[in-house]
Amino acid sequence: MPKKKLVYIWSLRNAAADKAGQDIAYKGGTRYMKSVLESLVEALNDTALGDQYSLEKVIYDDDANSASDREKLKEYGFSYEPGKRWFYPPNLRVQGKAVNELLLAIPSAYRREPFGAAGRVAGKSQFEKHLLDTLVELKADIVVLDGLLIILDELVRPGALFERKIVNIHPGVTRGESPYERRGAYATLDALYGARGKKVVDWKTMETVEVEPLYLTGASFHYVDNGIDSGEVIHDVLNTEIDKDDTILELRWNNFNRSLFPALQEGLAVLAGDVVQVEV
């Protein structure tokens, strides 16, 4: 059987916030913060996933003409430059190809427009059209989103060409029936507050209420729909213990290594028909 063509889409600014590709402070020492992309590359190189999938392109949506994006990426830049930080070892190769040569910028430039502005709405549609045209040109079979802080509309609507072909790896359990559910951009921080017996009810004011502490979190690999982490779950892993004294990066490191990397690799195996999903 031919390999499924996999396209990976991420936001560099989100990986920068995680200090991807750097050594981070961890419990009095340091640990290397591996990016999700680097973990995927290792799996494609070293496991049976490489027999099922071929990584065709790595798309990022960051906008070099955005002052905000430039500030968030000031340690990294928008492409690898010798002597600067990067999100993974710059000589990283996947299935014999240099990962840096697979990078493609499709900027979500509409984010420069104010919310509600006609230009923002039109720009969002143009951005999704550019993604669609690129995915069609690449003949993508499966599209993996990682940290793309955008709610897709046209690409995943019922009947769309890529409906149920676009999946997301999320650093939290997204099943609505799970007591450990953590959706949205604040999933890790939400879990950390939960271990401290608090629930944030307003992320702008950081107003909290007291709740029963929960000391576990995980990750979900799910189809993308028009909601916020609301698509059908393909596979999830609940295997990250939380210390209430964790920093956000310590918890991110733990959750990536104990739940998110396994959820991504096992989820791709589920899609390839190799294993059966077990609910958590």
137-183 tens-digit pLDDT: 999 999 999 999 899 999 999 999 999 999 999 999 999 999 999 99
48 domain-assigned: yes
CATH of the domain at 183: 3.40.50.170
With bands split at pLDDT 50, 70 and 90, how would you rate the model's confidence at 257?
A: very high
123 domain-assigned: yes
**Ramachandran class of 268: left when φ > 0, alpha when ψ lies in -120 to 50, beta otherwise:** alpha
Would you say residue 74 has pLDDT above 60? yes
43 domain-assigned: yes
116-133 tens-digit pLDDT: 888 899 999 999 999 999
- Mean pLDDT score, 22-29: 97
pTM across the whole model: 0.94
279 domain-assigned: no
Q: At a CB cut-off of 8 Å and minimum separation 6, what does 227 contact? A: 151
Closest Cα partner for 41 from 274, 237, 273, 268?
A: 268
Domain containing 61 equals 4-271
DSSP 81-130: -TTS--SS-TT-EETTEEGGGGEEE---GGGGSPTT-HHHHHHHHHHHHH
276 domain-assigned: no
Give how many domains the chain has, as a whole number. Answer: 1
277 domain-assigned: no
The pLDDT value recorded for residue 149 is 85
